[in-house]
């Protein structure tokens, strides 16, 4: 009886438990490295061999689906790149056309409007580069964006003023970055038009902070100040646009004399909630 029991145990070990152990190890290997499911069916009972065959078929189906998904993703990336390339070219064409038309206009007021329109298009083009050339279509790095935007705007005016940029290192959705960028564009344009008469040199300071879930942006110049500006119109189209952009970020905009002279524009705004992104292996 003892020998019979030992024989049953040994038979169960070789005929059932050992094949089940091999099957379990094969499943674990497939799960851990994603390689082809490999199971040696030698000596395995028919039931386990059939189970292994079904699992192998399932693993092959999963692999086929993954390859199909990779192909679809490659096709999507190609379409996105082509679309972005066309958008980039179209923005450049619009900016170039506005610049060419501005050169042909002699009336100062109309020329200024064409130049401002070109600056707005250039701001959108810069934002587009931040979204797509950095391969992140969901958020914009506010510090990098504003640093490049200020440099781009002042270059258009021959670097008559220098900029000081102090912006919190954070990412915001495009729905927030676009209105903020256009507000800065309007504000810098107004400063260069009215704050520094007779081609005087000056400084523009841009500060953006976040506290208690709200953003605060301040743009100030050290120019002549609102009361001394010649030709400035703080109730004109630029002011209307800035207040409209402020509404898009649930913001409150104010324009007043800066302490120590010059003009100060302040905006309290909602920075939004950037979409959560999965952590990469490098994080």
**Which helix (H) or strand (E) covers residue 37, if one does?**
none
pLDDT at 250: 93
pLDDT of residue 164: 92
Q: In what helix (H) or strand (E) does residue 215 lie, and over which residues does it extend?
A: strand 214-221
Its pTM stands at: 0.65
Helix (H, G, I), strand (E, B) or coil at 211: strand
Characterize 129-147 residue by residue with b for buried, 16 or more Cβ atoms within 10 angstroms of its Cβ, and e for exposed.
ebbbeeeeeebbbbbebbb
CA–CA distance, 71 with 86 (Å, rounded to integer) = 23
Predicted local confidence at residue 277, as pLDDT: 47
User: How many Å apart are CA 161 and CA 149, to the nearest integer?
Assistant: 14
8 Å CB contact between 259 and 240: no
Can you say how many angstroms the Cα of residue 6 is from the centroid of all Cα atoms in its chain?
A: 68
DSSP state of 112: H
pLDDT tens digits, 35-65: 666 666 666 667 777 777 777 777 777 777 8
pLDDT digits (tens, 9 = 90+) for 96-128: 777 777 777 777 777 777 777 877 888 878 877
Distances (CA, A) of 121 to 133, 136, 143, 146, 239: 17, 21, 20, 15, 18
Quote the pLDDT of residue 2.
47
Q: At what angle do helices 142-156 and 108-132 cross, to 10 degrees?
A: 150
The encoded tokens of residue 47 equal 């039931």
For the chain, which ranges sit under pLDDT 70? 1-23, 28-45, 80-81, 83-85, 133-137, 159, 227-236, 274-283
What is the rounded CA–CA span in Å between residue 121 and residue 240? Answer: 18
Cβ within 8 Å of residue 91, ≥6 positions away: 121, 124, 125, 128
């Amino acid at each position: 009886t003892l020998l019979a029991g030992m024989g049953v145990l040994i038979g169960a070990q070789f005929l059932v438990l050992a094949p089940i152990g091999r099957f379990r190890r094969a499943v674990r290997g497939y799960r851990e490295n994603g390689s082809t499911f490999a199971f040696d069916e030698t000596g395995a009972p028919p039931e386990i061999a059939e189970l292994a065959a079904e699992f192998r078929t399932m693993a092959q189906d999963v692999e086929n689906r993954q390859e199909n998904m990779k192909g679809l993703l490659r096709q999507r990336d190609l379409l996105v790149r082509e679309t972005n390339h066309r958008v980039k070219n179209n923005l450049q064409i619009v900016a170039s056309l506005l610049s060419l038309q501005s050169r042909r206009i002699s009336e100062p007021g109309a020329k200024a409007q064409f130049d401002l329109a070109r600056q707005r298009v250039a701001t959108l083009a810069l934002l587009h580069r931040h979204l797509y050339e950095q391969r992140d279509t969901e958020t914009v790095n506010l510090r990098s964006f504003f640093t490049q935007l200020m440099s781009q705007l002042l270059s258009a005016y021959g670097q008559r003023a220098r900029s000081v940029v102090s912006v919190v290192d954070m990412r915001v959705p495009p729905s927030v970055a676009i209105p903020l960028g256009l507000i800065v564009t309007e504000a810098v344009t107004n400063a260069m038009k009215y704050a520094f008469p007779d081609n005087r040199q000056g400084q523009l300071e841009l500060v953006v902070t976040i506290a208690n879930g709200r953003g605060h942006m301040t743009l100030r110049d050290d120019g002549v100040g609102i009361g001394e500006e010649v030709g400035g119109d703080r109730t004109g189209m630029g002011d209307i646009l800035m207040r409209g952009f402020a509404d898009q970020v649930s913001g409150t905009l104010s324009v007043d004399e800066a302490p120590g002279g010059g003009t100060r524009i302040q905006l309290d705004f909602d920075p939004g909630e950037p979409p959560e992104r999965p952590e990469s292996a490098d994080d």
